[in-house]
């Protein structure tokens, strides 16, 4: 019985020591981040501009926005599918240079946004009959976007805004 209590006590102490160590490390990293931001205002300006561009990309790739912005007049669903996916890919490629200014986790989120939206458009298109029109696909995408948590771009936008606020503080 006493051995178990001793082991529990040691585990509790070890856990508290680890938490304290992590607290000190986070405090140290925060201090380093503040110091590096103060030393490099031009770098911060570039990072903020990159965050702006990536925010614009995330907004433009949202299902509602991309359907509204992309001309579908006279297209079949298959043709419209191609236009939508190429639009997403093209805008992603246009913004690829911004990855050097943001942390890897943010760039990965932007990449996952592109991949997820293309995947969903592919899945929705595959559920349509061959004679479906672009209007049919557009409606299906809009309907999908109305389901809870359907649009990953909102999560990516939140992450980009959080990063921008860190730079501004």
User: Mean of the pLDDT values across residues 92-102?
Assistant: 93
For residues 17 and 50, membership in a common domain is answered with no
For residues 3 and 53, membership in a common domain is answered with no
> What tens digit of pLDDT does each residue of 118-141 get?
999 999 999 999 999 999 999 999
The half-sphere exposure of 154 on its side-chain side, counting CA atoms within 13 A, is 8
Domain at 70, CATH number: 1.20.120
The DSSP string of 85-125 is HHHHHHHHHHTGGGGGGS-HHHHHHHHHHHHHHHHHHHHHH
For residues 58 and 97, membership in a common domain is answered with yes
C-alpha 125/C-alpha 123 separation (Å) is 5
C-alpha 1/C-alpha 36 separation (Å) is 52
Fill in the DSSP letter of residue 73: T
To the nearest whole number, what is the mean pLDDT of the chain?
87
For residues 47 and 62, membership in a common domain is answered with yes
For residues 48 and 33, membership in a common domain is answered with no
Q: What range does the domain containing 75 cover?
A: 41-168
For residues 86 and 163, membership in a common domain is answered with yes
For residues 79 and 149, membership in a common domain is answered with yes
Distances in Å between the alpha carbon of 24 and those of 13, 30, 31, 37, 167?
16, 10, 11, 20, 21
Cα of 38 vs its chain's centroid, Å: 27
For residues 62 and 47, membership in a common domain is answered with yes
For residues 72 and 126, membership in a common domain is answered with yes
Fill in the DSSP letter of residue 133: B
For residues 35 and 87, membership in a common domain is answered with no
User: Mean of the pLDDT values across residues 1-6?
Assistant: 72
Q: Which helix (H) or strand (E) holds 129?
A: none
For residues 31 and 113, membership in a common domain is answered with no
For residues 59 and 28, membership in a common domain is answered with no
pTM across the whole model: 0.73
- The rounded radius of gyration (Å) of the Cα atoms in the chain is 23
Domain count, the chain: 2
Residue 113 has pLDDT above 90, yes or no: yes
């Amino acid at each position: 019985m006493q051995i178990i209590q001793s082991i529990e006590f040691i585990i509790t102490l070890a856990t508290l020591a680890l938490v304290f160590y992590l607290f000190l490390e986070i405090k140290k990293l925060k201090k380093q981040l503040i110091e590096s931001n103060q030393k490099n205002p031009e770098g911060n300006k570039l990072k903020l501009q990159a965050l702006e561009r990536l925010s614009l990309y995330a907004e433009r790739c949202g299902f509602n926005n991309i359907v509204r912005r992309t001309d579908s007049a006279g297209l079949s669903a298959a043709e419209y599918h191609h236009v939508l996916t190429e639009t997403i890919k093209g805008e992603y490629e246009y913004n690829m240079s911004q990855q050097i200014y943001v942390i890897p986790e943010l760039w990965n989120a932007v990449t996952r946004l592109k991949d997820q939206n293309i995947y969903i458009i592919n899945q929705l298109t595959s559920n349509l009959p061959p004679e479906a029109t672009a209007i049919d696909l557009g409606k299906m995408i809009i309907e999908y976007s109305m389901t809870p948590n359907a649009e990953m771009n909102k999560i990516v936008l939140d992450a980009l805004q959080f990063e921008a606020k860190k730079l501004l503080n």
